[in-house]
Amino acid sequence: MVKREKSNYTIQAVVHALSLLEEFSGDVDELGVTELSKRLKLHKNNVFRLLATLEEKGYIEQNRATENYRLGIKALELGQTFIKQMGVLRQAHPIMERLARDLHENAYVGVIRKRNVVYLDVVESDQAVRVVSRVGSQLPVWCSAIGKAQIAYMNQGELDKILPLARDWQRCTKNSIDDRDRLIAELEKVLGQGYAVDNEEYDLDVKCVGAAIRDYTKRVVAGISVSGPSFRLSDERILDEVAPAVVKAAADISRRLGYEVALSVSGEEEPFSG
């Protein structure tokens, strides 16, 4: 089977929309339909439809005084999201390397997007038997240690936006949490101990331990986890070795992002609290 070039799958309307956004660069603040039509070599009607679509989604806004167009707030939000993610990954990677080296298991960083966790980076285990990398994968938040570690700090309104209706609840394995009440009880446990556990809830024979990462605003911006075969991640090992290491790694990354980690009377780092 001949593999087709990705360029064969491009959607021209999307290309034109992105090209339009790129015209608002450098010192350009505002542009009108006529000027954009000339720059993009597109008919004015096509340019107007592109602008209307982008305006509807918040990536373009119109200056009512001049009737010209400029970038909208969504463009700024998208750029800030990219910067935050790159900042998290840059600060997290060396700590992930340490975590994977010390525990001999995969270390991940992931963020929440809608109802899923998206895995952004991995440092793989040096073991011959290890979990297949999940980078780029999207897992339901309630089946993932990274997901549960982050949503544990959400308020009721935020949870309502993420959690599905009962009829839409997805189970990945027989161990998956399958209703809201059970999940809320699990999240309360996460808050108390400072970490979450995926007990073969997404893949059978695979366990994960995750903790939340905060930035200088004290917001949870990502999560870090360790994942390995269940025969190596016993309950005892999780409690005695893996969970403390993951919580410390999350605290170290958070500190790098400007979050002041609370210390106990003994001088030891306390688990995150809501």
Residue type, 91: Q
Mean pLDDT confidence for 130-146: 81
Domains in the chain and their CATH numbers? 6-71 (1.10.10.10), 79-256 (3.30.450.40)
pLDDT at 167: 64
pLDDT at 116: 86
What pTM value is reported for the model? 0.66
**pLDDT digits 0-9 by tens, 7-32:** 677 899 999 999 999 999 766 789 99
Mean pLDDT confidence for 249-257: 93
Is it the case that residue 134 has pLDDT exceeding 80?
no
Mean pLDDT confidence for 50-75: 93
Is it the case that residue 251 has pLDDT exceeding 70?
yes
Is it the case that residue 105 has pLDDT exceeding 90?
yes
Mean pLDDT confidence for 94-105: 95
Alpha-carbon distance of 262 to 260, in angstroms, equals 6
Mean pLDDT confidence for 214-226: 92
Q: Which residue has better confidence, 79 or 20?
A: 20
pLDDT at 268: 44
Tell me the average pLDDT of the chain.
86
**pLDDT digits 0-9 by tens, 147-174:** 999 999 998 888 888 887 766 677 888 9
> CB-based burial of residue 103 (10 Å sphere; 0-12 exposed, 13-18 middle, 19+ buried)?
buried
Among 218, 202, 201, which residue's Cα sits nearest to residue 257?
A: 218
**Share of the chain residues as helix, strand and coil, in percent rounded to the nearest 5:** 45, 20, 35
Q: What is the end-to-end Cα distance of the chain in Å, rounded?
A: 53
